């Protein structure tokens, strides 16, 4: 059993699931608990979008397996046209400080 922590609008929603479960069932539990419309949000884990067809065991690392806990960020989609509210940056962005990076190639 693994604890999945969803961070959604500064709220933390906990869902418990087995490692062999598909994210489809986990997302359905999240929709019910957070009272959110299905397919109105996107789920991000380690800077990658999670698909409903993936299993929990496929994306979880060894560190999270030992702790039996993962944290997933949840972001809303633009309700009017189902596009993400985030844009693809043309520059390289540091994942820690979220500022523009400078790269020197020698």
User: What digits encode the pLDDT tens for the residues 6-27?
Assistant: 999 888 999 999 989 999 999 9
Assessment of whether the complete model's pTM goes beyond 0.85: no
Kindly indicate the confidence band of residue 33, based on its pLDDT and cuts at 50, 70 and 90: very high
- What average pLDDT does range 42-60 have in this prediction? 89
pLDDT of residue 61: 82
Domains and CATH numbers, the chain: 2-84 (3.10.20.90)
C-alpha distance from residue 101 to each of 47, 86, 88, 105, 106 (Å): 17, 19, 15, 13, 16
Q: How far apart are CA 46 and CA 68, in angstroms?
A: 16
């Amino acid at each position: 059993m693994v604890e999945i922590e969803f961070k959604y609008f500064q709220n933390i929603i906990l869902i418990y699931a087995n490692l062999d479960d598909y994210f489809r069932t986990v997302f359905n539990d999240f929709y019910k608990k957070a009272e959110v419309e299905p397919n109105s949000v996107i789920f991000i884990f380690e800077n990658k979008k999670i698909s409903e067809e993936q299993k929990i065991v496929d994306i979880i690392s060894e560190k999270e397996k030992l702790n039996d806990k993962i944290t997933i960020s949840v972001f809303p989609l633009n309700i009017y046209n189902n596009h993400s509210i985030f844009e693809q940056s043309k520059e390289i962005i540091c994942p820690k400080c979220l500022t523009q990076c400078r790269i020197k190639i020698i």
